Amino acid sequence: MLGHSSRKRFGQNFLADPHYIARIIAAISPHSGENIVEIGPGLGALTRPLIDATGRIAAIEIDRDLAARLTAEYPSDRLSLHVADALHFDFITLGNDLRVIGNLPYNISTPLLFHLTQYDAVVRDITVMLQKEVVQRMGAAPDTADYGRLSVMLQARFAVERLFVVPAGAFRPSPKVESAVARLVPLGSTRPHIADAVLFGKLVTAAFGQRRKTLRNALMPFATEIELEREGIAPGARGETLSVADYVRLANALAQPTARE
């Protein structure tokens, strides 16, 4: 496509349908002077209209050949390009009130979302296109098949909204699955206080590690039955039945040394 062969190791599927490009740009509603960073600009389908609307954006591209094409097309005062792996990029270096945009490769979408959660304090919003099933998991409610670790970890920091589905035919090459566009907005002042983020993450991971396990068994390294019951959590329940608030309350209780004496 346009002289560039898609590279499987980077999970490259390039958005090519003008209708869906326009829908995504309309959903973002970019304005002049906004602090926008695009993850994986690729062949520039979203990059061009974003720059036209704002005057200048930043972008992160891991493929050096694609980065060279973009650098040749746009001067640095229009496109601040970082040739880097977004999974390890420090988004704080881009400033505050950051709007994150991206057609995320399917093969790294979940770990990249986890990476982005730590920057909620400097982000205004995140608009990303992902595999439809991942978007369903992101916004899933408790006690449903899609509810899991990703749901809890994201919803503890963001309001998650699925915007619309993008069919496989909108990409070149066409993937074997449908995609969907989602918006994540930091909870800000309504974000629940998490006393120990590392403990919270470990607790949620353990709860969903083996879905058939009861919390009595899954959380054995972290909490006794008495500690679970003290927080109003039935030891015989399974991880998918707990709300985000339940996980926050339990993690915060376990983070208090006096609570375990």
**CA separation for the pair 110, 107 (Å, rounded):** 8
Domain end among 165, 190, 215: 190
Largest CA-CA distance found in the chain, in angstroms, rounded: 66
Same domain, 231 and 141: no
* pLDDT tens digits for range 138-158: 999 999 999 999 999 999 999
Report, in angstroms and rounded to the nearest whole number, the Rg of the chain calculated over CA atoms.
20
Same domain, 50 and 87: yes
Spatial CB neighbours of 166, under 8 Å, sequence gap ≥ 6: 15, 17, 20, 129, 178, 179, 180, 181
Domain end among 190, 211, 227: 190
Same domain, 154 and 205: no
Indicate the number of domains in the chain. Answer: 2
* pLDDT tens digits for range 94-103: 999 999 999 9
* pLDDT tens digits for range 59-96: 999 999 999 999 999 999 999 999 999 999 999 999 99
Same domain, 21 and 144: yes
Same domain, 47 and 118: yes
Domain coverage including residue 110:
8-190
- Residue 156 sits at the vertex; the CA angle it makes with 26 and 245, to the nearest 5 degrees, is 135
Determine if the pTM surpasses 0.85: yes
Same domain, 47 and 154: yes
Same domain, 150 and 40: yes
Q: Is residue 89 part of a domain?
A: yes
Q: What is the residue-level pLDDT of the chain in tens, covering all 261 positions?
A: 444 444 444 445 889 999 999 999 999 999 999 999 999 999 999 999 999 999 999 999 999 999 999 999 999 999 999 999 999 999 999 999 999 999 988 888 999 999 999 999 999 999 999 999 999 999 999 999 999 999 999 999 999 999 999 999 999 888 888 999 999 999 999 999 999 999 999 999 999 998 889 999 999 999 999 999 999 999 999 999 999 999 999 999 999 876 555
> Which residue has 């120990």 as its token pair?
196
Spatial CB neighbours of 91, under 8 Å, sequence gap ≥ 6: 37, 98, 100, 116, 119, 122, 123
